[in-house]
A and B are shown apart, each in its own frame.
Chain A
Amino acid sequence: MSDAFREKPNAERLPLSSSAAIIVDGRYQPPQDKDGKIWIRTSALVNADPDRLYRMWREVEKAPLWQEQITQVIRTGDATSQWTMRSGDKVIVWDSQILADQPARRIVWRSIGGDSDNAGEVIFDLALGGRGTIVTVLQEFRMGKLASAWETLTGRNPKQAVIENLRHFKALAETGEIPRTEGQPHGPRGTVADMKRSIYGEKIATPPGESQAASIGGRQ
């Protein structure tokens, strides 16, 4: 992967002492995986205007509707919130702070304590020809390679979770619901299928989406 691809566009200066970012020549450099951090960059074209998508993302209390395994988000201040994530029997809680907040343009955040060390940025770019908004998400997590591999095998690697969450975000923004097949019938599953379902993260519940009916249906 080229260095250019590793650069985080539009990122503002973060504190040099930051535990979740490295600044080189005034530009944000996502750390190498060897630093015990993993990072992900993904994007989606969403058929909605940047302002609406910005507001949807900024409404952090509603994140559990479209983010996997996030069970509760409490706003603790203008720019701070507390996040609760449940993965199987494991519950982790962390606080998050918004570092940059440009309506209809971008949001930058990082964790400020708790069980997760992460940072992220979302950028809303108006797509050409009235085709909606290009949503780019960059996120990084302090996590060793071994832990990362373990997460991949047993549930959802945080990298993949970011990709899946953006997919859910797009579905919810465009249709008001998140399509799901969990709870629908299937033929007999063998041992291999069971293993695949675990590796592909299909045992992780699809977030409920906007509708209450969906959240009830999803748990069947």
Chain B
Amino acid sequence: MKALCWMGTGKVEVHNVADPTLLNPHDAIIKVTRTAICGSDLHLFDGFIPTMEEGDILGHEFMGIVEETGKEVSNLRRGACGRSIYDCLWQL
């Protein structure tokens, strides 16, 4: 997949990286159809987060199609519309 990677303060690049995998039973893989930039992405971009490392993939404001779900996921199924956890939290 294509991913926007943080490569240093004020420097981001789009790279081809491996596809994600399910690691935990509550994980889900979402194929991103639309994405946005969050104000907090700017803190990462501007280098204010010391734990950022070159190669880290950015982006947490997105929506898309559910590709795959872990075996404990009961409220999503393949093909459904998925949103990032952040969007879901805003609606609480």
Contacts and interface: CB of A to CB of B under 8 A. Distances in A.
Contacts of A186: 5, 17, 55-57
Interface stretch (B18-26, B40-48, B60-68, B76-84): B18-26
B13 interface: yes
B23 A180 contact: yes
Interface in A159-207: 175-190, 192-193, 196-197, 200, 202
Nearest to A214: B24
B55 A187 contact: yes
Contacts of B56: 186-187
Interface residues of B, number: 26
A185 B3 contact: yes
A192 B13 CA distance: 17
Nearest to B23: A217
Contacts of A187: 3, 5-7, 13, 15, 17, 54-57
Interface centre among B15, B26, B53 (most CB of A within 10 A): B53
Task: Give the contact-size bracket for chain A.
Answer: 20 to 34
A209 B24 CA distance: 9
Interface centre among A175, A185, A196 (most CB of B within 10 A): A185
B55 A193 contact: yes
A185 B19 contact: yes
Interface string B1-12: 101011100000
A179 B13 CA distance: 26
B18 A185 contact: yes
Contacts of A209: 24
Given A181-B23, A185-B19, A188-B15, 14 more contacts: A177-B25, A177-B26, A183-B21, A186-B56, A186-B57, A187-B13, A189-B55, A192-B53, A211-B24, A213-B22, A214-B23, A214-B25, A217-B23, A220-B21
Interface of A: 175-190, 192-193, 196-197, 200, 202, 209, 211, 213-214, 217-218, 220
Interface of B: 1, 3, 5-7, 13, 15, 17-26, 51, 53-57, 70-72
